[in-house]
Amino acid sequence: MLYIIISIYIKSLLIYVKLFDYYGHLLYGGFMRTNLDYNAINCVCLANGKRAENLENEQRQIIRDTYTLYYITSGRGMVTIDGIGFFVSAGQSFLTFPFSNVCLEADSDFPWEYSWVEFRGLEAAWLVSQTYFSKKHPVVEKIPVNNFECLFNIEDCGADATFAQCRAGGKLIILLSYYVEHFPCKDSENTSYAILARNYIEKNYRNPEFNVQSVANHIKIDRTYLYRLFKEETGTSVIDYINNCRISKAEVLLIDENISIKDVAYSVGFTDQMYFSKVFKKLRGQTPTEFRRKNNGRYI
């Protein structure tokens, strides 16, 4: 009798863990890896640093596929974004959006000193959408928080280790939360097309007939325009996001060896097992079979 009770308990525990893993995928937009090669794609801190006052006069042009947030600690300068100039000085912050043409120029008399952090990810993009920041309004005033500059010192930024990515992502969220608090989005209905697209994808990616055109039709914009907006705001394409949602759910199902790879493929929206394997290997660096073998007995 004791053996039966223990067996039932273990099976229940395994089911609970799998359900937790699955819903964890949904909570994090379908991009949370289930294997040990964790990558917090939704809120990634890529790099950070400082610009010292004693450097030579700065004038440089930048185009990145990421967000970069700057905080002016002293001095002043000019930031030109897509041909529009903004004068900024100590205490102010400015944000540059992905794929913007940015030119930074320090003032010759009072050259600026600033801290900066570069980041990407859909959750980070959502946080930005909840602030006053926009391409038309990239500058905000001083945030009344003591030692605010210290929040830009994210030591684990750009690290590969799982624990470091988690810490850096958490620190980035804390930093952005102050902008959400002190400079909230003034338009309560200002929900970006990228966020609308993401929400629709997460509800429908299991449908084999679901594709990029389905998303464009739902939010009523041109497919090419959707691609540009989604790429600019998130740094990834719509089809890549759809495939990442599908592959993340597939990883959960592949843990159960009682489900065939063909059934796994169909369950996450692929009608062709060969194409499923091709996409899986492209995104995860291994085939579904290799993933299953590597993670065999993971929860035991």
Instruction: Give the span between the Cα atoms of 188 and 180, in whole angstroms.
Output: 13
Q: Which domains does the chain have, with CATH numbers?
A: 10-37+191-294 (1.10.10.60), 44-182 (2.60.120.280)
Task: State the DSSP code for 58.
Answer: P
Q: What is the pLDDT of residue 259?
A: 93
Q: What is the pLDDT of residue 57?
A: 54
CA-wise closest residue to 235 among 120, 100, 118: 120
CB 62 within 8 A of CB 100: no
Strands, E assignment, 58-142 = 59-63, 67-74, 76-81, 84-89, 93-96, 101-106, 113-120, 139-140
- Residuewise pLDDT in 10s, the chain (300 residues): 434 433 433 344 343 344 334 333 333 333 333 333 334 457 788 888 887 655 555 566 777 888 999 999 999 999 999 899 999 999 999 999 988 889 999 998 999 999 999 998 878 888 898 899 988 899 999 999 999 999 999 988 888 787 888 899 999 999 999 999 999 987 644 467 888 898 899 899 999 999 999 999 999 899 998 998 888 777 789 999 999 999 999 999 999 989 999 999 999 999 999 999 999 999 999 999 999 998 875 544
Instruction: Give the span between the Cα atoms of 40 and 45, in whole angstroms.
Output: 9
Q: What is the pLDDT of residue 44?
A: 80
Query: In angstroms, how far is CA 211 from the centroid of its own chain?
Result: 21
Query: In angstroms, how far is CA 220 from the centroid of its own chain?
Result: 24
Q: What is the pLDDT of residue 300?
A: 40
Neighbours of 286 (CB within 10 A): 15
Q: What is the pLDDT of residue 26?
A: 35
Q: What is the pTM of this model?
A: 0.61
